[in-house]
Amino acid sequence: MEKVLIIGGGGGGLILANHLPRKDFDVTVIDKDEYHYYQPWFLYVAFQGSRRKIWKPIASLLKPGIRFVKDEISEINLDERKVYGTRKTTYDYDKIIIATGTSPDPDSIPGLREIYNEYGDYHSNVQNSLKLWEHIKNFKGGTVALGQAGPVCKCPPSLLEGAFQLEEYLKKKNLKDKTKIKFFTPFPRAYPAEQMNKVVEPMVEERGIEVMTFFDVDTIDTKNKVISSIEGDSINYDLPIIVPPCKGTKIRIVPEKVKNPDRFIITDKKTMRIEGYDNAFAIGDVNTVPTSKTGVTAHLEAQVVSNLLQGVYDEFTGRINCPFDTAYGKATFVIADYENPVVPYPPTRIKHIMKMSMARIYWMTLKGQADPIFDYYFDFTNPKKLNEKYATEA
């Protein structure tokens, strides 16, 4: 029986573990946390004060026969096939999958740590989202500076989702006339994928959100409340909503060259194999696969690795399918793959209902119980087919 070690019980790690047949694989999932969180809901905690319970014990999300160990991994030696935990435990394996997601890095930009500690954010954890909600709830007007502090970020739609949620909230509270929303981004347009701007830019304009492009955060002067960019622009703020730069894993990996300077693991974009190792894979946000860092990507990559481990040929197509809540009860999806560009897919009410339903079926998804629905849906929303319709229409 093959010994499979999965480091990280997030979306990618759990889906992979639950897809491996227990008769052939001895599977252990290791996570530093006892709980798994439904991260997309951080948005509604921070901007609507939602108190929905969005966490479950990792052990309860694994099929019977899969081992769960709570331990923080500090080192992985790919040459010796050894993994070291912070409790001085050593683990060995035949196959290893690293699925440790990203880590926020508020210390790489002067002033950002202070903002992070005081205002929170809506990407890091529930506590930070609640902290941000307290500030939004008590906001009485002024300038809100909202954006990402680094080019790498999980869930690209979530940045504008934050701006749209905030705008809707301010309108409901009659604070719109007293507020300016300044949305800053390091990219040339409001949305990083060019085609999606056909959909989002008219909405941004209509809602009076000012977009500051080519804005790479350089420093934050918290005393005078000014954010400055490398390009020489600045924003004076009353309320800062800043998503910190995303970095890969802090785990020491031997050999070190398998990590890039931002600590992401260099991974083959079709097989998720770590460069130079046939028995080691990295899935989800922690890898360098050139697609958006989303739960859907982690899910599809996990399915590919599950097939490869079982000796079934498979390749990741680069498919993304990020739900994008455009507020006022509507949503769209950002859909593309390696071969086809992002579809300028218009927002509708039904897509919003689908995004909201995901919070319910998410837990089933982790166990593979919703696979037939997803297979049908992914086929129905094939980016080639959708582009034939929408790319010309838009």
Ligand X SMILES: Cc1cc2nc3c(=O)[nH]c(=O)nc-3n(C[C@H](O)[C@H](O)[C@H](O)COP(=O)(O)OP(=O)(O)OC[C@H]3O[C@@H](n4cnc5c(N)ncnc54)[C@H](O)[C@@H]3O)c2cc1C
SS3 assignment for 176-216: HHHEEEEEECCCCCCCCCHHHHHHHHHHHHHCCEEEECCCC
Site string for ligand X, 42-71 (x = CB under 6 A): xx----------------------------
9 belongs to the binding site for ligand X (CB under 6 A): yes
One of 247, 263, 293, 330 touching ligand X (CB under 6 A):
293
**Radius of gyration of the chain measured on its C-alpha atoms:** 21
Shortest distance in whole angstroms from residue 71 CB to ligand X: 7
Shortest distance in whole angstroms from residue 224 CB to ligand X: 29
The SS3 call for residue 112 is helix
| Residue closer to ligand X, measured from CB, 195 or 294 | 294
CA distances from 205 to 169, 208, 293, 314, 321 (A): 17, 5, 27, 43, 25
Shortest distance in whole angstroms from residue 326 CB to ligand X: 13
Q: Footprint of ligand X on residues 138-177 (CB under 6 A)?
A: 154-155, 158
11 belongs to the binding site for ligand X (CB under 6 A): yes
Residues 6+ positions from 54 with CB-CB distance below 8 Å: 37, 38, 41, 42, 45, 126, 359
- Of the candidate spans 39-47, 144-152, 228-236, 258-266, the one that interacts with ligand X by CB under 6 A turns out to be 39-47
289 belongs to the binding site for ligand X (CB under 6 A): no
The SS3 call for residue 389 is helix
Q: CB 315: neighbour CB atoms within 10 A?
A: 14
Give me the residue label for tokens 């969180």: 37
Shortest distance in whole angstroms from residue 65 CB to ligand X: 21
Angle CA(305)–CA(310)–CA(315) in degrees, nearest 5? 40
How far apart, in whole angstroms, are the C-alpha atoms of residue 359 and residue 363? 8
Residues 6+ positions from 312 with CB-CB distance below 8 Å: none
Residue count, binding to ligand X (CB under 6 A): 36
Shortest distance in whole angstroms from residue 80 CB to ligand X: 18
72 belongs to the binding site for ligand X (CB under 6 A): yes
One of 6, 7, 253, 280 touching ligand X (CB under 6 A):
7
Provide the residue count of the chain.
394
Shortest distance in whole angstroms from residue 69 CB to ligand X: 9
- Of the candidate spans 189-197, 295-303, 327-335, 344-352, the one that interacts with ligand X by CB under 6 A turns out to be 295-303
| Residue closer to ligand X, measured from CB, 160 or 170 | 160
Shortest distance in whole angstroms from residue 304 CB to ligand X: 14
Question: Which residue type does 355 have?
Answer: K
The token pair that represents 112 in the structure block: 């950002």
One of 122, 184, 215, 345 touching ligand X (CB under 6 A):
122
Q: Footprint of ligand X on residues 237-256 (CB under 6 A)?
A: 251
- Of the candidate spans 34-42, 177-185, 212-220, 361-369, the one that interacts with ligand X by CB under 6 A turns out to be 34-42
| Residue closer to ligand X, measured from CB, 234 or 381 | 381
Shortest distance in whole angstroms from residue 166 CB to ligand X: 13
33 belongs to the binding site for ligand X (CB under 6 A): yes
| Residue closer to ligand X, measured from CB, 214 or 357 | 357
285 belongs to the binding site for ligand X (CB under 6 A): yes
One of 18, 39, 148, 306 touching ligand X (CB under 6 A):
39
CA distances from 18 to 302, 332, 378 (A): 10, 29, 20
272 belongs to the binding site for ligand X (CB under 6 A): no
How far apart, in whole angstroms, are the C-alpha atoms of residue 210 and residue 199? 16
* Enclosing H/E stretch for 129: helix 126-137
Residues 6+ positions from 165 with CB-CB distance below 8 Å: 43, 44, 47, 48, 325, 327
One of 81, 95, 123, 330 touching ligand X (CB under 6 A):
123
How far apart, in whole angstroms, are the C-alpha atoms of residue 43 and residue 36? 16
Chain residues binding ligand X by CB under 6 A are 7-13, 30-33, 39-40, 42-43, 72-73, 99-101, 122-123, 154-155, 158, 251, 284-286, 293-296, 298, 322-323
